[in-house]
Amino acid sequence: MVKSKLFPLCARLLTTAAIGLSTLPAYADAAKPDTLKIGITTFMSGSASVFGMPAKAAAEIYIEELNAAGGIDGVKVEPIYVDEGVGGDRLLSEYRRVVQEQGAKVMVASISSGNCNTLAPVAEDLKVVNILWDCGTEKALEGHTYNYVFRTQANAVTEMVASVLYLLKVNPDFKTLAVVNQDYAWGRDSWDIFSAVLKQLKPDVKIVAELFPKFGASDFSAEVSRLQVLRPDVVLSTSWGGDLDTFVRQASQRGLLKNSQFFLALGETSLERLGNTLPEGVLIGARGDHYFLSPQYANDPRHKAFVTKFHERTGSYPIYSVYHMVQALDGMTAAYKKAIQANGGQWPNEEQLAGAFKGLDFRGLTSPVHIRPEDGQGLETQLFGITTASPDYKFKVLKDIMLVQADQVTTPPGEKSHEWVKTVTPALLDQVQPLSAAQ
């Protein structure tokens, strides 16, 4: 009796399980949503809002245009902006809230390297794709095995190694160098990489001063006086925003820029603001290959239209954070298209989307970017130039623009940057020649 009842029950259970298993692939395809919610963290307050607010304006323009063109595979994108200026702890809880309560499927975070280091493991834990869109620290990805975290731009190692190569290309005979960087993680870390590579490539250079004034310092008079006494051949600064503007203005007003060759690795962001304060002949870096007058892309229809629209909207020309934002969103769009194609035209789930980022090749507004499949690190060309006056603009523009390709100046996957930079030899100077951008 018991046996006769048990058999049909087992049979029914097995049948149900078999049906369930057979339908699994169908459940694995995520249902196509009405809108795709994405979280974007950017500085809307504090001194870093000089990057954050233009980048937010860029995101607004991009998403408006994307939605007007039908969105991604017919799905409109809905951004949720989060202010990075609120501090690490609050940002973290906001990040979780946007993913878990508001249902964001992609997070575009962050500007601050500290925030990237904090949020990357959280994204991995939440299984949400996180695009590191602007932060520089190589440590965000190095030494980790993330499946959901990718970077759509270069990291600090690429930027600093390329900077050293460029400096040695345009000024191969300098003997002394002084650095004036902001006293926080980026200022210190970027100098560590730059000085380590410089030591490998040109060991005879004497570092005459390492100055790290307070972040947000309003007065650089003592630093400028000391540099006037030391008269280094080159003054390097990786500072940005108000700090860089103040330092350059005080140095320029006191004639320091006539005595030493200035190299401002993030100077592209200050060109418009500094107006005629910045003299001719200053070496400028751009954290990527973006520049609104880039010889290669100034007449590219999409780039040109974007620059015009951005200028109309904000009254300013785009700076690198603007390009990085567009690049991140272009990366996201490209990954979705790749994932949809790989999924037979079906909307992808988070895992499939993350898989599409590995080895992704896409283009933002300037050169193509490749995302390494091994570690999710983006390879982005680096642009440098020299300031010169222009009859068309009230501020200095760049001439003699040079480009450094990223692949040979980026730490190979699986290696540690602080060890890799010590293995760089002067042979790199022959292998990686900064190239003149096509005029």
Binding-site member from 65, 219, 280, 361 for other proteins (CB under 8 A): 219
- Distance, CA of 292 to CA of 312 (rounded, Å): 14
The answer to whether residues 200 and 426 touch, using CB atoms and an 8 Å cutoff, is yes
- Give the range of 124-132, 252-260, 283-291, 343-351 binding other proteins by CB under 8 A: 252-260
Q: Which residue, 161 or 179, has its beta carbon nearer to other proteins? A: 179
**Residue 46 interacts with other proteins (CB under 8 A): yes or no:** yes
Q: Which stretch binds other proteins (CB under 8 A): 2-10, 15-23, 218-226, 362-370?
A: 218-226
164-172, 213-221, 382-390, 430-438 -> range binding other proteins (CB under 8 A): 213-221
Radius of gyration of the chain from Cα atoms?
A: 24
* Residues in binding contact with other proteins, number by CB under 8 A: 39
Q: How far apart are CA 398 and CA 366, in angstroms?
A: 16
Residue 57 makes contact with other proteins by CB under 8 A: no
Contact of 268 with 278, CB cutoff 8 Å: no
Sheet holding 382-388, edge to edge: 206-211, 176-180, 234-237, 261-264, 283-285, 382-388, 397-404, 435-436
Closest CA to 158 of 370, 422, 417, 427: 417
What x/- string results for residues 162 through 191 when contact with other proteins is judged by CB under 8 A? ---------------------x--------
Q: How far is the CB of 212 from other proteins (least distance, A)?
A: 7
Residue 87 touching other proteins (CB under 8 A): no
Identify which range of 8-16, 58-66, 68-76, 215-223 contacts other proteins by CB under 8 A.
215-223
Which of 90, 127, 206, 214 lies at the binding interface for other proteins (CB under 8 A)? Answer: 214
Task: Judge contact between 248 and 224, C-beta under 8 A.
Answer: no
Query: By CB under 8 A, which span of 9-17, 64-72, 73-81, 235-243 interacts with other proteins?
Result: 235-243
Identified binder of other proteins from the candidate list 20, 87, 255, 426, rule CB under 8 A = 255
Q: Considering the rule CB under 8 A, would residue 249 count as an interface residue with other proteins?
A: yes
Contacts of 27 (CB under 8 A, 6+ apart): none
Q: Is 181 buried (19+), middle (13-18) or exposed (0-12) by CB count in 10 A? A: buried
**CA distances from residue 86 to 29, 45, 134, 393, 411 in whole angstroms, order as listed:** 37, 8, 18, 36, 32
**How far, in Å, CA of 46 to CA of 335, rounded?**
32
> Measured from the CB atom, is 253 or 390 closer to other proteins?
253
Interface with other proteins, residue 52, by CB under 8 A = yes
Least distance (Å) between residue 52 CB and other proteins: 7
Give the nearest distance from C-beta 60 to other proteins in angstroms: 15
Q: Is 124 among the residues that bind other proteins (CB under 8 A)?
A: no
For 221-243, give one letter per residue: b (16+ CB within 10 A) or e: eebbeebeeeebbbbbbbbbbbb
Q: How far is the CB of 395 from other proteins (least distance, A)?
A: 13
CA distances from 294 to 307, 398, 439 (A): 11, 9, 9
Residues that bind other proteins (CB under 8 A): 44-47, 49-50, 52-53, 183, 209-214, 216, 218-219, 221-223, 225-226, 228-229, 241-243, 245-246, 249-250, 253-256, 273, 277, 316
